[in-house]
Homo-oligomer: A and B are copies of this chain.
């Protein structure tokens, strides 16, 4: 017990860690001071990627059970939030990289060709685990993305792509939500009726309001009609599936409804942590987007119109990926369909009881 002889130096494998920086400029006999920074910045990234992967894998594992124990909800949320906290470092770390000026980078840049950050196997795997699908990946240098992988890495990549991703797990978990129909209450029908009634009432007010200028009336009518049409796409399964086939949505019809329920009734005790989870997943998506955007800015500054060390326009790739490699973009779109709390259908008392804690109901 208290007799350990653990030593900081051995425990953290300091010798191995601090022995892993070999400057290529030194190998070539032409020491470039800033190459150490370049190596260490990238190594720190890889260590953080490992940590992020550790969290995502643990969350996927908990989610892979048939039923997620409510006791684990806070843990799941905490681990996604930890990823978000780490992402802030990833972004700020670019400020450190930018203390290297483009001219100093030139001192050793050519030695690294064609190595590229795009070759980070860990990050490719991480994207797959999060739920980035092979066919949604951007091309890189006009080549399929796994051309950047070593031959021996491809089978592992392919295997991971077949396992359930975080996206898949969240989708399934949402689909299992028991609250869409409960105690005779049909959340979806009730929500649909409310929205339509509200919008029809709005329309009447607009059409009968004498003080409204003609162009204001037209503008307002148009907004109401557009809103009605947009809600239609979410209310009608067939329309939704068409939109989904067109790539406008990714999640299943039922899971989108569950996500909306959670957002709208997030105050109910049983939905408080699910709401936090959806929020944390959006934060994480936003974090990767911000990191890619910031990274693209740096690449542009460091290289000008030059190609990256991997021969591609890294800046453009990162910029495009910032938009297109999002995982949970459905959640961001969902906001369109919110109505203010005051207009939400009120839950029946017995439904509310079900969504509360046992101890409070006795």
Contacts and interface: CB of A to CB of B under 8 A. Distances in A.
A335 B99 contact: no
A355 interface: yes
A357 B356 contact: yes
Interface string A20-40: 111010000010010011011
Contacts of A359: 178-179, 182, 270, 354-355
Contact of A78 (B99, B206, B355): B99
Interface residues of A, number: 135
A1 interface: yes
A18 interface: yes
B107 A14 contact: no
Nearest to A289: B297
Nearest to A107: B340
Interface string A108-129: 0011111111111110000000
B50 A110 contact: no
A228 interface: no
The winner among A99, A117, A179, A302 for most chain B CB atoms within 10 A is A99
Interface in A130-156: 150
B335 A302 contact: yes
Nearest to A121: B9
A324 interface: no
